[in-house]
């Protein structure tokens, strides 16, 4: 026993030997840890994949899914790894799932999440317009959602009335192209669908103008889309291009004033007026000016003034104009412009 203790003491005193043993132990630990990590990474796990090509808006049934072995290291975080999370769900509206493909979290949604993509893209303040088309007017089915188009208008038949052709509205973004059954023409790559309607959004005044023109077939009026050429400012408003065509439409129709719907918008500022000796105008803004919203006003076409409270008082010495605006963080503006009909013009502004 004493010999063993003495041998151990001599061994521990040999620094070279201790260092060698320590290095060996560290290498063994590193090897075991590395091997464990590698084995975990390459260890196959069962992953659901598609047994056939699944078109958009398709319910995923049990026979469309099978399990295959895949190394864990080859799978990204957005891969769905459970069959139960797929069967009974739907393929997303903008997703074709190829045969043999894995299922991803952004390509599989529930039935309640299925949107009509066209309506979801309509901007605030716009009205959805359904423009009739066919294979010829879409240039052989070559106008896609997201493309910019112009609407041209022809007037007259060349016999009783001279023909007039011009661009009526320009810079319109196509939201959807659908067939006569309401199915998106381009969402199913395996089905040849014939375009029947083109959907886009227009401001109310442009919507009414285009709708009026569409009812003037007896006057020889024809409307047809043309792909927009050149550079398009995506932030620019859709606009009228030819005033002569607008005048023609107005001359053959009756205009009904569009009701002011700003009262239904909670973000549009309100203005109250106090006459008498001070001609005071009070602007009331919604809560959140200076934080959630950027609130400004312009008096008599002057410099824009920023406010952070909910109330702003102004004094007018004569008749004038006032514009108050609430701008959201995404740039959406809610404005009110009014004339101030003051009767007392002797007071000075405070």
Q: Per-residue pLDDT tens for 198-240?
A: 999 998 889 999 999 999 988 889 999 999 875 544 444 456 6
Interacting residues of 284 by C-beta distance below 8 A, sequence separation 6+ = 269, 270, 271, 272, 310, 311
Tell me which range, 16-30, 55-69, 222-236, is most confidently predicted by mean pLDDT. Answer: 55-69
- DSSP lists the bridge partners of residue 45 as 70
Report the predicted TM-score, pTM, of the whole model to 2 decimal places.
0.48
Give the pLDDT band (50/70/90) at residue 349: very low
CA 26 vs CA 35, 38, 40, 287, 348: distances in Å: 14, 18, 21, 64, 89
Start-to-end CA distance of the chain, whole Å, equals 107
Distance of CA 342 to the CA centre of its chain: 44
pLDDT digits 0-9 by tens, 256-279: 665 555 456 788 888 887 655 557
Q: Is 163 helix (H, G, I), strand (E, B) or coil?
A: coil
User: Token pair of 76, please?
Assistant: 């990204």
User: Token pair of 307, please?
Assistant: 């406010």
Q: What is the DSSP string of 191-251?
A: S-----EEEEEEEHHHHHHHHHHHT-GGGT-EEEEEEPPS---TTSPPEE--HHHHHHHHH
Cβ of 240: how many Cβ atoms within 10 Å? 14
Average confidence (pLDDT) over 185-207: 85
């Amino acid at each position: 026993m004493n010999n063993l203790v003495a041998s151990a003491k001599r061994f521990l005193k040999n620094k070279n030997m201790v260092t060698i043993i320590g290095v060996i132990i560290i290498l063994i630990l590193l090897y075991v840890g590395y091997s464990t990590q590698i084995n975990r990474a390459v260890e196959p796990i069962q992953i659901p994949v598609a047994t056939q090509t699944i078109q958009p808006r398709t319910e995923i049934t049990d026979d469309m899914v099978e399990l295959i072995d895949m190394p864990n290291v080859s799978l990204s975080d957005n891969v769905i790894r459970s069959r139960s999370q797929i069967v009974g769900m739907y393929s997303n509206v903008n997703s074709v799932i190829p045969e043999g493909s894995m299922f991803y979290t952004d390509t599989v949604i529930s039935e309640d999440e299925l949107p009509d993509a066209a309506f979801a893209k309509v901007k605030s303040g716009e009205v959805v317009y359904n423009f009739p088309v066919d294979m010829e007017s879409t240039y052989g089915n070559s106008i896609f959602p997201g493309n910019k188009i112009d609407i041209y208008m022809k007037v007259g038949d060349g016999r009783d009335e001279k023909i007039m052709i011009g661009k009526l509205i320009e810079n319109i973004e196509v939201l959807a192209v659908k067939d006569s059954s309401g199915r998106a023409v381009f969402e199913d790559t395996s089905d040849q669908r014939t375009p029947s309607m083109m959907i886009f959004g227009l401001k109310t005044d442009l919507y009414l103008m285009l709708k009026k023109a569409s009812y003037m077939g007896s006057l020889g009026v024809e409307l047809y889309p043309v792909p927009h050429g050149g550079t398009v400012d995506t932030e620019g408003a859709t606009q009228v291009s030819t005033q002569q065509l607008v005048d023609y439409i107005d001359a053959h129709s009756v205009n009904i004033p569009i009701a002011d719907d700003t009262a239904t918008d909670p973000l549009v500022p309100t203005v109250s007026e106090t006459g008498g000796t001070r001609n005071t105008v009070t602007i009331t803004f919604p809560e959140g000016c200076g934080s959630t919203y950027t609130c400004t006003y312009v008096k008599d076409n002057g410099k824009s003034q920023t406010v952070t409270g909910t109330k702003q008082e102004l004094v007018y010495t004569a008749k004038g104009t006032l514009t108050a605006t609430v701008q959201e963080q995404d740039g959406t503006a809610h404005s009110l412009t009014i004339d101030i009909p003051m009767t007392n013009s002797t007071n000075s502004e405070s």
